[in-house]
Amino acid sequence: MYKVLSDKRTILLLVLPGLLIYTFAILFPIILSVYLGMTDWSGIGRPNFVGLENFKKIIFSDTTFWKSLRNAIFLALAYVFVQHPIALTFAILIDKIGGRAEKIFRTIFFIPCVIPVVVTSRMWVSLYDPQYGLINKILDFLHLGFLKQQWLGDTKTALISVIIICMWQGFGWALLIYYAGLKGIPEELYEAAMIDGATGVKLYTKITVPLLQPVIKVNFTIAIIYALKQMETVYLTTNGGPGDASQFLANYLYIRAFNSYQYGYANAISVLFVIACLAVNILFQKIFKPENYEF
Amino acid sequence: MSKRTLKVFISVLLVTVMIVSLFAGIQGTFTASASTKKTIEIKFFSNLPDRTSNQGKLEQMLIDSYMKANPNVKIKVEALQDEPYKQKFKVYVATNQMPDIFMVWGQPSFFLPVMKAGYAAEIKPEQIKDYGFKTSSLKDFMYNGKIYGLPRNTDFMVLYYNKGLFSKYNVKVPTTFSELLNAAKVFRKNGIAPIAINGKDKWILAILYQELVVKESGDQRLIYDAISKKSISKNQVLLKAAKDLVELVNVGGFQDAFVAADYGAANNLFAQEKAAMYYMGSWEVGMAANPNFSDSFKKNVDATYFPIISGGKGKKTDILAWHGGGYAVSASSKVKNEAMKLLLYMMHPTRWAKIGWQQGLVVPGQNWEKFMTGKETVLQKKLTQIFSSATSVSGTVWQDAFTPNFKTEAETLCQMLVAKAITPEKFLAKIEELAKLEVK
């Protein structure tokens, strides 16, 4: 057996299916994207090679591209600084509550994640509707009529409205990952700290958060990649509008490829998009240096 | 007969029977497979997902009647809303898997690249010589003098309105722009959305802008010429029209958050009598006969010209009209002849034009006046009157007259204008910039 497994040809043979799938499903499309990004192909007929023209245009004169990237960064920041602290707090509370209530709350918070995005997006479009939408109706009821807005139809509020939907949709995932992380921290650590006189908040800042660091890292990375990739919710609610006020990279790429017949240009955007995702990933690896907490 | 001879005789008989029955079997198989082979499947790609009313109903009726008349033909329909249709269409084009017969918009921004790349099959003039298509109606379905598609409708813009709401609030149906602004103010005061519009779709905003340009200038060519000459930003008529559009927004002329409303939302708002007017094309003629709408709405729905502008040179009879939607057959279809037969069957004047008109489902691309029976709905009669009294028509609307990217960008700029993300001056400067990049 050892002889067979140490044979290089056998190793190659065993690795080959995976290698082929990786090459054709991941590597080849990326290489093709880089090539098509250097053409002015409309998606119909033959591509015409234009070199780095598309990339130059995107970087130096495409304001919508930068706006889309900026919006994605806003969403990422909203995930990291708003959604995640709330999700972590709720995960701790659910973990603490215990019993049947724990299961009920866990399920309730996870419900938005199992409903298709199309449904939740339509629901939010209705909630935001200025005429019959629940949000404006509640504001009226609370005598806060002056706060009423044309949520998705106004350049000032469209982006924040879309960000709120995205945060609501992804809340369950963030919570679930933190919750699973919390379950992995041994109870004895808290007991030992309490014997040493640690109080409630200190327990969490000194034990929970540091020990959850690997989980936080994974959760942040997922959230940021998700923010950069945001497409469905935007497409279904504002389609990037009004104008390009709530435009996101993936949706913008889609519009260029399928509405403007600029398939080459869209591929160039996709290449820059991949680079942006990689850069964020590397940045995160640097910020969260691996530290081993043993317990 | 000896025993041996009998044995030989029986053996020969059995072998003969066996061979004969074997051949009969083979022949039977051949006949059976030949009849199976005869079943032809045609893939039909449509932009009309509602198969129970308006054009979708007519399309389905004709498809069903074709299948009934040709039992060996099976037509598989795939129908999507406009925007998903356009996207799926491009996927089909990119993967070279065109459906056998498909819907096309006869506009340079959509159909020209398709015709140029040879995806559509040629239709010979003699095939449609008795079909009553005017050359002008085929213009946008032609490339290099050859025809590649057939228009199904005459599309023109009107202002639909709800008679009941106008009389309830004692408002005059607007004939001038200032009357329209006043009407908007009255309806808004009473909690009724003045004009329902689908601003999320963007194209309607660009068409409305052109409507205002025509009503200001009285010149149907002005906007096209300005774009072709890239002389836009200093054009005072274009600027005034942009300001008119913003003024209409400022008085609350459209429903709240109209920028985020899609086609269905705007249409429902009007059909549910929560909006007094609806700026839309003649393809909505079927509203008056739509079984999904209330009787009260159907009784009250009417249409009028878009108002003129005091001080403007345009007449109310200067209308935006074109032949937009139509059908084409895939050049690479394996059942091209059958698909072509189906197209010619559907578009025969006694079918699409006659049945469509008489059932109040469409305003056909062919001459429909000869099919009038006197039993038409009010809306049909009004649309016929509006179209037949037109003193000038636009042809393909401005945003569709150039490249696909020009269309996308120009429409986005129109949306930015109505969302007040840019000023009218900036809007024109941006359109000029766009024209310089996109219009050769």
Q: pLDDT tens for residues A147-162?
A: 999 999 999 999 999 9
Which of A225, A213, A147 lies closest to A184 in space, CA to CA?
A213
Asked if residue A242 has pLDDT above 70, the reply is: yes
Strand partners, B153: B364
Strand partners, B44: B77, B101
End-to-end CA distance of chain B: 100
Which residue of chain B is at minimal alpha-carbon distance from A149? B257
Q: What band does B25 get if pLDDT is binned at 50, 70 and 90?
A: very low
Q: Answer whether B94 sits within 8 Å of A263, measured CB to CB.
A: yes
Asked if residue A257 has pLDDT above 80, the reply is: yes
Backbone φ and ψ of B281, nearest 5° = -90, 170
Asked if residue A205 has pLDDT above 60, the reply is: yes
Per-residue pLDDT, B35: 47
Which of B103, B170, B202, B200 lies closest to B400 in space, CA to CA?
B202
Q: Specify the range with the lowest mean pLDDT, choosing from A278-287, B27-36, B196-205.
A: B27-36
Rounded distance between C-alpha atoms, residue B274 and residue B266, angstroms = 10
Asked if residue B56 has pLDDT above 80, the reply is: yes
Per-residue pLDDT, B52: 86
Residues A184-210 have a mean pLDDT of: 84
Which DSSP helix (H) or strand (E) runs through B318?
A: strand B318-319
Q: Answer whether A152 sits within 8 Å of B258, measured CB to CB.
A: no
Which DSSP helix (H) or strand (E) runs through A171?
A: helix A158-183
3-state class (DSSP) for residue A98: coil
Provide the shortest C-alpha distance from residue B420 to chain A (in Å).
Answer: 8
Q: Tell me which residues of chain B have a C-beta less than 8 Å from any C-beta of chain A.
A: 86-87, 90, 93-94, 113-114, 116-117, 119, 193, 199-200, 202, 255-261, 274, 403-405, 407-409, 412-413, 415-416, 418-422
Residues B150-155 have a mean pLDDT of: 91
Asked if residue B67 has pLDDT above 90, the reply is: yes
Within an 8 Å CB–CB cutoff, is residue A124 touching chain B? no
Q: What band does A96 get if pLDDT is binned at 50, 70 and 90?
A: confident
Residues B41-55 have a mean pLDDT of: 91
Rounded distance between C-alpha atoms, residue A107 and residue B305, angstroms = 56
As given in the structure block, the two tokens for residue B274 are 């929560």
As given in the structure block, the two tokens for residue A260 are 């403007």
Nearest CB neighbour to A262, from listed B259, B405, B415: B405
Q: What is the DSSP letter of B107?
A: S
Q: Which residue, among A258, A262, A269, would best test binding to B if mutated, counting the most B CBs under 10 Å from its CB?
A: A258
| CA distance to A283, B97, B154, per residue, from B290 (Å) | 58, 35, 20
Task: Find residues 215-244 of chain A whose CB sits inside 8 Å of chain B.
Answer: 237-239, 241-244
Per-residue pLDDT, B9: 62
pTM of the prediction? Answer: 0.84
Rounded distance between C-alpha atoms, residue A231 and residue A72, angstroms = 10
Per residue in B354-408, pLDDT (tens digit) is 999 898 888 888 888 888 888 888 899 999 999 989 999 999 999 999 998 999 9
3-state class (DSSP) for residue B231: coil
Per-residue pLDDT, B195: 98
Strand partners, A143: none
Q: What is the mean pLDDT of chain B?
A: 90
Q: What residue type is A200 in one-letter code?
A: G
Asked if residue B412 has pLDDT above 50, the reply is: yes
Rounded distance between C-alpha atoms, residue B406 and residue B185, angstroms = 34
Locate tokens 């709405």: which residue? B297
Which residue of chain B is at minimal alpha-carbon distance from A45? B117
Which of A234, A255, A236 lies closest to A245 in space, CA to CA?
A234
Q: What is the mean pLDDT of chain A?
A: 90
Q: Answer whether B257 sits within 8 Å of A158, measured CB to CB.
A: no
Measured between beta carbons, the chain A residues lying within 8 angstroms of B119 are 44
Which residues have CB under 8 Å from B216's CB, separation 6+?
A: B237, B240, B241, B244, B309, B312, B313, B314
The most distant pair of C-alpha atoms in chain A lies apart, rounded to whole Å, by: 80
Q: What is the DSSP letter of B332?
A: T
Per-residue pLDDT, B32: 46
Rounded distance between C-alpha atoms, residue B106 and residue A258, angstroms = 18
Within an 8 Å CB–CB cutoff, is residue A45 touching chain B? yes
Report how many Cβ contacts below 8 Å link chain A to chain B: 104
Per-residue pLDDT, B26: 47
Q: What percentage of chain A reaches a pLDDT higher than 90?
A: 59
Q: What band does B232 get if pLDDT is binned at 50, 70 and 90?
A: very high
Which residue of chain A is at minimal alpha-carbon distance from B417? A243
Asked if residue A138 has pLDDT above 50, the reply is: yes
End-to-end CA distance of chain A: 39
Within an 8 Å CB–CB cutoff, is residue A261 touching chain B? yes
As given in the structure block, the two tokens for residue A114 are 């199992």
Which of B217, B267, B265, B291 lies closest to B57 in space, CA to CA?
B291
Provide the shortest C-alpha distance from residue B202 to chain A (in Å).
Answer: 9
Per-residue pLDDT, B27: 47
Asked if residue A245 has pLDDT above 70, the reply is: yes
The sign of the dihedral angle between the CA atoms of A193, A194, A196, A197 is positive
Per-residue pLDDT, A291: 59
The sign of the dihedral angle between the CA atoms of B55, B59, B65, B68 is negative
Rounded distance between C-alpha atoms, residue B273 and residue A123, angstroms = 23
- Looking at chain A, how many residues does it have? 295
Nearest CB neighbour to B93, from listed A43, A244, A256: A43
Asked if residue A287 has pLDDT above 90, the reply is: no
Locate tokens 């506009």: which residue? B107
Rounded distance between C-alpha atoms, residue B162 and residue B192, angstroms = 11
Q: What band does B37 get if pLDDT is binned at 50, 70 and 90?
A: low
